[in-house]
Each structure stands twice: as structure tokens, then as C-alpha cells.
Structure 1
Amino acid sequence: MIVKAYGAYAGDKPLEPMDIERRAPGAEDVEIAIAFCGVCHSDLHQVRAEWAGTLYPCVPGHEIVGHVTAVGAHVDGFKVGDMVGVGCIVDSCRHCNPCDEGMEQFCEKGLTGTYNSVVADAPGHTLGGYSERIVVNGKYVLKISHKEEDLAAVAPLLCAGITTYSPLRHWQVGPGKKVGVVGIGGLGHMGVKLAHAMGAHVVAFTTSESKRQAAIDLGADEVVVSTNRDEMKAHAGSFDFILNTVAASHDLNPFLILLKRDSTMCLVGAPEHQHPSPNVMLLLFGRKSIAGSLIGGIAETQEMLDFCAEKNIVSDIEMIPIQQIDAAYDRLVKSDVKYRFVIDNASLRA
């Protein structure tokens, strides 16, 4: 099956229209007509070869939502017309301990990413959601129960949503907990919404005074400008958990000072360059931890989607046609979006 897509043939080339091949749906597959695809910062890093190992042609996109157009004979739980999503994972070994425990993101054999992972299908690696259709094993397809009119804004939940939901759940964020969210961007704005919905007292950290009201509108109970020493000092030693979503290299020490004894700061942003090494004494005196978290497994991603549907949570988006993707990438580098670009995949046929 040949479908229209947008991708790049080299890291220094703009994205352009291309025809790509999708496999015919097998007995365990679901075929999906993609309605919308979110734009993740990872897309930019990978397609522009800022991360090593990019396979070309590269068709990015792992925040995919759409409707089922075909269902394999051995697939249960889906029918033609269903609203569904595909996130960052389209396969895994299915036999290792993490896979058995529903944590496919930590597959010991290596997960199969929605794009840029080696597979048998042409052209030898996976091609993502900047395309008309996709065929995915039914075990890695997710049900969407939001309203149809919210579908575009659901797309970023498949990466930004689960990336923030998973650590919030793992560290048991909820009522009675004081939680910080560092950075109010694509990830951070979801972190604020989710932590608020879980019942925590949420403090948003930003370097920009101009984002104060925006963070409150997202659900933050307080906002701290992290460059203001007095504001930071007022919160020293008071946080149960800090979710750090910033994807740029920065000093972690000011945030370690804010943690209570035995508390954790979890990093979910993937910086282009490593963070400066933190002051170990800040960890020793207080038994504090720095941790990391990577998306979530399929079951947890489904749990997140159901939670967001129940709480009427979606991402704040700016819709674009696919023809504006390179301009969107340039704006993404400048943090010039509130808070997530989403591609209208109908524009592929323009």
C-alpha cells in the first residue's frame, strides 16, 4: 500500500512530500487512517540528525490519532471506525521481564519505535505519523474515548501526556503532596494539568515572568520564576517531588535545594547536551534523588488516556498543515508555541 507522507532524505535537508509503502494488514494488525499527528521535539532532533543513528528517509511522528480502517482476523477489541491512537512504541520482544510486566518502554531486547527502528518492512525501518495511514500490531494500538471534536488535542497525550503521567503515578503524586513542575512547554504544561488533576499542590517553575498567568490558567497553585533567588529560597526543602521537563542543559542544583529529605527530582526532558554535574553534597545531605523516566508502557498509556478522558484533559495545541512543518520546527527551537504543534494530516492531500 502506497501512501502520502512527509519526511527528509538527510539531516540538512528540509522535509518534503514523499510516497511511502505500508505493509498490508496481517491477522494481528490494525490499519489506521491518521487524522492528526503531534509534533514532538524528538522529531526535530531525529530528523535533523541531532541525535545519532537517524535512518533515512526519515518520516517522524509518534503522537498519532485517527480511525480504524481495517482489523486483522486475530485482533480483539477494535472495529472499523473506532477512534484510536499510536504512541512511541509499535512493537517489543514481548518476552522479557519488562514486557511481561507491561513496561515495554524498557524492553531488554529494545523496543521498536514508531519511526527510526529497524524492521523487515520497506524501507527497512519504521516510518512515523507524518503520513496518511499506518499499520500497527493490535497490541500496540490504544483506544481513545474523548469526544471526536477533541481528537486533535488528544494527539500529544501519546507522548507528552504519558511522559509526564508515568513519573507522577510512579512517585505517587496526589492529595497532600507538594509537586514542582519545571518548564512550561509541551511536556511541562501537561505535567501541570495532570498533577493538578491528581489532587496535588502544584508549583510551576518558569524562567519567564510573562508565563506566570499562563501557568495558573493551566492549573498551577503557585508560580515561581526560577531566576528569582528570593522566590526560590522561600520554597527551600518543601517539595515532595519535582518533575523537571526542561529539554535544555541547565543547572540542577537550585532545584535539589527545594526537595524535602528522601524526595526525588525526575528528569523527563532529553537535552541535546548533558546537564552540568550536580553538587553531590546536596544529594548526601537529605538522601535526595535524581531520577529519570521514559514514556510508559502500553497498559499505562491506556490508563493515562482513560484518566484524561474522565478529567476532560487534552493538550493545548496549535494546528498546522504539513507544509509548515519546517517553520514549526524553527519555532519549536525558540519555544514559540503554546504548547504543542499538531499536524492536520488531511493537508497531505493538498
Structure 2
Amino acid sequence: MKFVLSVPESLDPAAAAPLLCAGITTYAPLRKWGAGPGRTVAVVGLGGLGHMAVKIAHALGAEVTVLSQSLKKQEDGLRLGADHYFATSDPTTFERLAGTFDLVVNTVSAPIDVDAHLGLLAVDGTLVNVGAPAEPLSLNVFSLIGGRRSYAGSMIGGIATTQEMLDFCAEHGIGAEVEVIPADRINEAYERVLASDVRYRFVIDASTFA
């Protein structure tokens, strides 16, 4: 049987394409690990993946917290649907939020302190990695067994889940926050990515290719 994705007409074309990468990458683990009413979800990082995780977790009905290195994107995070926003650079954050979350979705591709983030989980909570750091990550097994916690990974989803995600985003008016650029600004865009100066996805206007 052949499956073909159908993009709902209500989705903005410029935002629909990023949904097929950032959308499914975050939707799949949120659905798999039960984000919804009565559940507490933390999103680590408010970038290309993180901003979609916040939107989707909020639409699913979860209580959403953003954990970012600083508070510079706090206004954006709350606008996108977060209920709370904390800076991980503040050492009191991990003490204050210990044992709080049912699910922590790590969207960053930089190394994190896995043990510290596992400590944020409630009993039977799960830390899911969707970001892909180049360096190996390590953990102390006692961070897992102390609260029956789990550490998992997720990449994308199958055709059926991707279609479910597209329909869900169309129903709830969710799209990626994008900046459309011409092809001759690709190098500039890359420099801005390196500087974390993206709100929150670049989309290249295909009509500008020579």
C-alpha cells in the first residue's frame, strides 16, 4: 500500500515545509510520551525545534516550561505558549524544579548535563533527546534508578504520524516561525544560525535561485 502525505490547505505554504522536519521531530515524542492535559512538559532550548515543541505541547494541553540558557527569549517563549520560562545558567533553576516534570524534551545540539536534567523528572518521567550533539553524553545510572526515570531518543516519525501532525497543526493553527530569504543571503543566514540569531527557521525563496 502506498501512502501519500496530504498538506491541509489551511497551512501557510512557507510554514508547512518546516513542519515536515521541525514539526514531526517534536510532535512524535510529545505524542509517544503522552503530553497532554494534566502532564508537565519541559522543553530544553527555544530554537528551530524548541519553538515548535512549545507550540505543539501547549496545543496538546500540557503545562509547558521552557528551559533556556538565558532569559533573552522569555517573551517569545510565553507568546508561543509556554506557561513558565527558566534559565539553565541559573544554578537555582535545577534545585527549584527538581522532580517536577513528566517529560523533558531536549532540542539542543550542544552538550547538556544529563544528570542535572534527569533530576528534573518526576517518578516515571522521561528525558527525550531530539537534538544531536556531536560529542558523546554521559550519565550516572543512579540518576535513572532513583526515580524509575527513563532516558530516550527520537528522530522523526512515519507517514501516518507525519500526516497526523500536519492535520493537528492545521486544526490548531500551528506553523513554524519562519523568515523567508532570497538565495543570495544564504551565507548571511548561516552566520546568523551560528550566532543563534534566528527566529526561528529560515526558508529560502526557491524563485530566487538563478
Q: TM-score with structure 2 length normalisation?
A: 0.95
Question: What SS class does the counterpart of residue 210 from structure 1 fall into?
Answer: coil
The Cα offsets for residues 64-116 of structure 1, whole Å up to 9 and x where unpaired, read as xxxxxxxxxxxxxxxxxxxxxxxxxxxxxx9xxxxxxxxxxxxxxxxxxxxxx
Write out per-residue CA displacement over residues 155-205 of structure 1, whole angstroms, 9 at most, x where no aligned residue. 110000000000000011100000000000000000000000000000011
Identify which of 10, 17, 21 aligns with 1:159. 21
Match of 1:280 in 2: 141
Alignment equivalent of 1:346, drawn from 185, 188, 207: 207
Choose from 185, 202, 222 the match for 2:47.
Answer: 185
TM-score (norm: length of structure 1):
0.58
Q: CA deviation at 1:333?
A: 2.0
Q: Does 1:144 align with 2:7?
A: yes
Q: Does residue 234 of structure 1 match 2:96? A: yes
Shift of 1:306: 0.4
d(CA) in 2 for partners of 1:177, 1:231: 20
Q: Is there any run of 5+ residues in structure 2 with no aligned partner, and where?
A: none
1:249-291 deviations in whole A, cap 9, x for unaligned? 222122111101111000000112222x112211121111110
State the partner residue of 1:296.
157
Alpha-carbon separation, structure 2, partners of 1:319 and 1:144: 20
Tell me which protein shows more helix as a share of its residues: 2
| CA–CA separation in structure 2 for the residues paired with 1:254 and 1:262 | 16
User: Counterpart in 2 of 1:306?
Assistant: 167
Structure 1 distance, partners of 2:143, 2:104, is: 15
The whole-number CA distance in structure 2 between the counterparts of 1:324 and 1:142 is 31
Alpha-carbon separation, structure 2, partners of 1:232 and 1:281: 17
Once the two structures are superposed, what CA deviation does each residue of 1:311-338 show, in whole Å capped at 9, x if it has no partner? Answer: 0000101111122223222221221100
For structure 1, the residue ranges without an aligned partner over 5 or more in a row are 1-93, 95-137
**Counterpart amino acid of 1:310?**
E
Corresponding residue of 1:220: 82
Which amino acid is 2:184 matched to? Q
Identity %: 51
Counterpart of 1:192, as a letter, is: V
1:202 equivalent to 2:64? Answer yes
Within 5 Å, give how 1:306-345 maps onto structure 2: 306-345=167-206
One-letter code aligned to 1:261: V
- CA–CA separation in structure 1 for the residues paired with 2:62 and 2:9: 24
CA–CA distance in structure 2, aligned partners of residues 211 and 162 of structure 1: 23
Is the contact between residue 224 and residue 232 of structure 1 (CA under 8 Å) also seen in structure 2? no
Residue 266, structure 1, aligned to residue 125, structure 2: no
- Aligned to 1:180, the other structure's residue is in SS state strand
The 2-side partners of 1:238 and 1:342 are apart by 36
User: Which residue of 2 is the match for residue 67 of structure 1?
Assistant: none
Q: 1:248 aligns with which of 110, 118, 124?
A: 110
Equivalent pair of 1:247/1:269 in contact (CA under 8 Å): yes
Give the secondary structure class of the aligned counterpart of 1:157.
helix
* 1:271–1:146 Cα change, 3 Å: farther
Instruction: Tell me the residue number matched to 1:58.
Output: none
**Larger of the two Rg values belongs to structure:** 1
5 Å-filtered alignment, 1:3-18, equals none
Residue identity matched to 1:306:
D
How many correspondences in the alignment?
A: 210
Is residue 71–residue 85 contact of structure 2 (8 Å, CA) maintained in 1?
A: no
Retained in 1: the 8 A contact 2:183–2:204? yes
